[in-house]
Amino acid sequence: MLKQRPFLIETLTAIGLIVAPFVLPHLGFAPNTVNRILVWGLFGLGFDILFGFTGLLSFGQSAFYGTGGFVAAYLLTRAGFGNVLGALIIGMIAAAATGYLIGLIALRRTGIYFAMITVAIAEVFFFVEFNPLSDFTGGENGLPGVPTPSFNLGFTTVHFTNGWSLYQFIALCYFIGVIIALRIVRSPVGAIFSAIRDNPLRATAVGHNIHGYKLTAFVIAAAYAGFAGGLLGVLQAFMPPDAFTFDTSGQLVMQTAIGGRGTLFGPLVGATVWLFLQDFLQSALGLGAAWKLVLGVVFVLLVCFLRGGIIGGLADLYRLLSGRRKRSDAEAEPDTETTLHLAPAPMQAKEVAHPAYSGPVLKATGLTKRYGGLVANSDIDFSVNQGELRGIIGPNGAGKSTFFKMLTCEIAPTSGQIVFEGRDITGLKVTEVCQLGLTKSYQVNQLFTGLTVRQNLTIAALAELRGKFRLDLFRKLSSVKGLTEQVEHTLALVNLTRRADTPVAELAYGEKRRLEIGLALATSPRLLLLDEPLAGMSPRERVETVKLLKSIARGRTMIIIDHDMDSLFELVERVTVLQEGKVLLDGTPEEIRTNAAVQEAYLGGVHGEIAA
């Protein structure tokens, strides 16, 4: 919704902001209310990038709102600083810097821990404002007397005083805020934000430094909060101490959820609903203090039944009405191409870091993993040569997946060493290893479920093209060199070109499995580990996938775990058999098939698998 037609949303926003003063008064909105809504909306733009796009629910935004607000207000009222816009920007920078420091602490943990820490932060900022810093913040008094902006244009001075006059200034700020936010969410960084929200584990595994990106989102949100806080002071000529309270954070969270998260405009809609209802319930219906209860109930119902909030609900409705037509169009299309699958030439694997290196691609020695008393892998020696296709089999519980996780550095071995292309990678992070050219497709699909097929592959390809961390916040996704080619190529390779713009949730299981492999492929690995790529597929899908695997194997080293031995033996050159966490045997498929020890292992383990 945020991606089609250049400048459509920008234009609509501009029109909306220009028309508002002529329309809203007739709906009973006073200019001050509108200004207040815009301040909340601006505050929410950053928060939505953090919560809606990156999936980090912070209850501590008031800390940055207050920081920016008080820095700006202090400069304007106590420090004799005359330039309102300058003060707002300094406040914004101060809030962003605070956000960076707080982010370093809060982002040490994720999920619920993160939420708890941010709640505590919001509360502590409030106390800090009151006590150690009360000389600067005025404590309970706040800072009265914040001036309104004026600009000397040489021939005349433009002064924004209050009401609709101030609206022009605030609306302009909001408009710029929207443009910047749109640039950010449409940038590569924005794409990675969504990846973190949908599946942080996979975002890490395809080679993104998600901690860095989370911190980025946190700082962006803090900057928006800081600027909005400054505007609040300008709007009311007074910087209230209440800006720091937890209630402010709570209200922002509720407004965003009511309006619709992940939409950028959700907070604005939420604030409109909030302030309108607050006014309406109190004055028109005479509900008095009960207004907040009504809003609370509305909020709970929305969270329960309409996850996307008001905007999400409207979007669903629109899709329902317009989508039906589109789908019938799509169904009318002849369905001939599915079977006619032309395997494109395999993508070039990443340039080899040391072209002179010619030893085994991967060499593990003495690899051991213990969980308490339980030994998952013990003393495994394992080596794979350049261009080899290796299979790994073993009964359930043989420690195959643990072995893979150690090779990709998802978990650290208890002892032993892993060398990739002559480089010791033991103890590195999964992100770094992926950047080196070693990645894995998962046994259980790890996709970015809220995104389309193309977006999924884009995220993986970005890791390879941009490295693990880069702050190209204002770059267009389409201007990343080589991205389109790489994504299109991978789409073709895994035969999902026709489904490129389908959301993952609507894919068939076999398609999801192919996408899972595609995610790993899109990072252009030189060594690809595949954990049960055929699991759960129908026989027909298996045949196709084996074909696919053969085609991608050209120019690349692969290690494959699977239970489907017929398919596996057809694919690979050598097979390693694991049993009870140890290497049982190593040999060609033919040797393995006829080996008595393997027969024994399987019959003693899970029966009948060898015949499957």
Partner 1 sequence: MISWPNLVSQLFNGLALGALLALISSGLTIIYGTLGVLNLAHGAMFMIGGYAGFVAYQYTESFILAVIAGSLFVMLLGVAMERVIIRHFYHRPHEDQLLVTFGLGICFVEIIRLIFSSQSQLVPPPAIFQGITNLGFMFYPTYRLAVVGIVAIALGALFIILYRTRLGMIVRAGIEDSVMVDSLGINVYRVFMVVFGIGAMAAGFAGIVNAPVVSLTPGIGDDILVQTFVVVVIGGVGSFPGAILGGLIAGEIISVTSMFNPGYAYVMLFAAMTLVLVVRPHGLLGVQGRE
Partner 2 sequence: MTDHLIRRGLSRRGLLQTTAGLIGGSVLPAMPAFAEDKPAVGSYPAGVSGSTAFIGISVPRTGTYAVQGEDELKGYQLAIEHINSGHDLIKKISPKTSKGVLGKELKFGVADSAAKPNEAVQAQQRFISENKAIMITGGTSSAVAVALNKLAQREKVIFVCGISGSNDTTGKDCVRYGFRQNFFGQTAAAAIGPVMVKEFGKGKKAAYLTPDYTYGHTVTKSMQDFLATAGWTTVTNQVAPLGAPDYSSYLLNVANSGADMLINVNWGHDAVLSTQQAKQFGVLDKMKLVVPYQVPFIARETGGLMQGVYAATDYWWTLEDKFPLAKMFNEAFEKKYGYKPEWGAENAYVSFAHWARMCEQAGSFNPPDVIKAYEKGETLPSLVGDVHYRPEDHQCVRPVIIVKGKQQKDMKTKEDWYDVVEIVPGEGLMQKPDAFGCHPGDYS
- From the list partner 1, partner 2, none, pick the one residue 158 interacts with, judged by a Cβ distance below 5 to 8 Å according to partner type: partner 2
| Residue that is written with structure tokens 């408009």 in the block | 175
Tell me which stretch binds partner 1 (CB under 8 A): 120-128, 323-331, 470-478, 554-562: 120-128
**Residue 12 or 172 having the CB closest to partner 2:** 172
Amino acid in the structure at residue 100: Y
**337 with 345: CB under 8 angstroms?**
no
To the nearest 10 degrees (0 to 180), the angle between helices 453-466 and 483-493 is 130
> For residues 136-195, which are near partner 2 according to CB under 8 A?
139-142, 144-145, 156, 158-165, 168
Tell me which stretch binds partner 1 (CB under 8 A): 50-58, 91-99, 423-431, 507-515: 50-58
Q: How far is the CB of 109 from partner 1 (least distance, A)?
A: 6
Binding mask 554-583 for partner 1 (x = CB under 8 A): ------------------------------
DSSP string, 101-123: HHHHHHTTS-HHHHHHHHHHHHH
- Gap between the Cα atoms of 510 and 506, Å rounded: 12
Angle, alpha carbons 439-446-375 (nearest 5°): 70
- From the list partner 2, partner 1, none, pick the one residue 332 interacts with, judged by a Cβ distance below 5 to 8 Å according to partner type: none
Q: How far is the CB of 241 from partner 1 (least distance, A)?
A: 14
SS (H, E, C) 439-483: EEECCCCCCCCCCEHHHHHHHHHHHHHHCCCCCCCCCCHHHCCCH
Position 299 contacts partner 1 (CB under 8 A): yes
**Residue 178 or 196 having the CB closest to partner 1:** 196
Sign of CA dihedral 467, 470, 472, 476: positive
Per CB under 8 A, the list member of 36, 186, 468, 513 interacting with partner 2 is 36
- From the list partner 1, partner 2, none, pick the one residue 467 interacts with, judged by a Cβ distance below 5 to 8 Å according to partner type: none
DSSP string, 464-531: HHH-S----TTS-GGGSTTHHHHHHHHHHHTT-GGGTTSBGGGS-HHHHHHHHHHHHHTT--SEEEEE
Per CB under 8 A, the list member of 8, 18, 79, 303 interacting with partner 1 is 303
Binding mask 9-28 for partner 2 (x = CB under 8 A): ------------xx--xx-x
Per CB under 8 A, the list member of 11, 18, 108, 141 interacting with partner 1 is 108
- From the list partner 1, partner 2, none, pick the one residue 236 interacts with, judged by a Cβ distance below 5 to 8 Å according to partner type: partner 2
- Gap between the Cα atoms of 32 and 24, Å rounded: 11
Q: How far is the CB of 411 from partner 2 (least distance, A)?
A: 47
Give the pair of three-digit tokens for residue 194.
Answer: 């969504």
Position 289 contacts partner 1 (CB under 8 A): yes
To the nearest 10 degrees (0 to 180), the angle between helices 31-48 and 61-77 is 130
- From the list partner 2, partner 1, none, pick the one residue 57 interacts with, judged by a Cβ distance below 5 to 8 Å according to partner type: partner 1
Position 374 contacts partner 2 (CB under 8 A): no
String of b and e for 487-520 (b: at least 16 CB within 10 Å)?
bebbbbbbbbbebbebebeebeebbbbbbbbbbb
Position 193 contacts partner 1 (CB under 8 A): no
The helix or strand, by DSSP H or E, that contains position 585, with its residue range, turns out to be: strand 582-587
**251 with 122: CB under 8 angstroms?**
no
**Residue 263 or 495 having the CB closest to partner 1:** 263
**Residue 244 or 420 having the CB closest to partner 2:** 244
**Residue 289 or 374 having the CB closest to partner 2:** 289
Q: Count residues near partner 2 (CB under 8 A).
A: 43
**Residue 294 or 535 having the CB closest to partner 2:** 294
- From the list partner 2, partner 1, none, pick the one residue 415 interacts with, judged by a Cβ distance below 5 to 8 Å according to partner type: none
- Gap between the Cα atoms of 238 and 147, Å rounded: 9
**What residues contact residue 336 under an 8 Å CB cut-off, 6+ apart?**
none
- From the list partner 1, partner 2, none, pick the one residue 348 interacts with, judged by a Cβ distance below 5 to 8 Å according to partner type: none
**571 with 551: CB under 8 angstroms?**
no
Tell me which stretch binds partner 2 (CB under 8 A): 131-139, 185-193, 326-334, 387-395: 131-139
- From the list partner 2, partner 1, none, pick the one residue 141 interacts with, judged by a Cβ distance below 5 to 8 Å according to partner type: partner 2
- Gap between the Cα atoms of 126 and 118, Å rounded: 13
Position 119 contacts partner 1 (CB under 8 A): yes
Beta strands at 574-579 and 389-393: parallel, antiparallel or unpaired: parallel
Position 115 contacts partner 1 (CB under 8 A): yes
CA-based nearest residue to 417, from 406, 430, 431: 406
**Residue 154 or 334 having the CB closest to partner 2:** 154
- Gap between the Cα atoms of 281 and 278, Å rounded: 6
Per CB under 8 A, the list member of 111, 163, 482, 604 interacting with partner 1 is 111
CA-based nearest residue to 250, from 136, 126, 105, 139: 126
Position 140 contacts partner 1 (CB under 8 A): no
CA-based nearest residue to 396, from 612, 596, 602: 602
Q: How far is the CB of 307 from partner 1 (least distance, A)?
A: 7
**Residue 123 or 421 having the CB closest to partner 1:** 123
The CA–CA distances, whole Å, from 58 to 222, 272, 547 equal: 11, 21, 47
CA 366 to chain centre: 37
Per CB under 8 A, the list member of 5, 22, 26, 112 interacting with partner 1 is 112
Position 254 contacts partner 1 (CB under 8 A): yes
Position 253 contacts partner 1 (CB under 8 A): yes
Tell me which stretch binds partner 1 (CB under 8 A): 141-149, 293-301, 376-384, 509-517: 293-301
Per CB under 8 A, the list member of 20, 42, 49, 57 interacting with partner 1 is 57
CA-based nearest residue to 92, from 46, 132, 124, 137: 46
Q: How far is the CB of 98 from partner 2 (least distance, A)?
A: 21
Position 283 contacts partner 2 (CB under 8 A): yes
Q: Which residues bind partner 1 (CB under 8 A)?
A: 51, 55, 57, 59, 105, 108-113, 115-117, 119-121, 123-124, 127-128, 130-132, 246, 250, 253-254, 257, 289-290, 292-293, 296-297, 299-300, 303-304, 307
Q: Which residues bind partner 2 (CB under 8 A)?
A: 21-22, 25-26, 28, 30-33, 36, 127, 130-131, 134, 139-142, 144-145, 156, 158-165, 168, 236-238, 240-243, 279, 282-284, 288-289
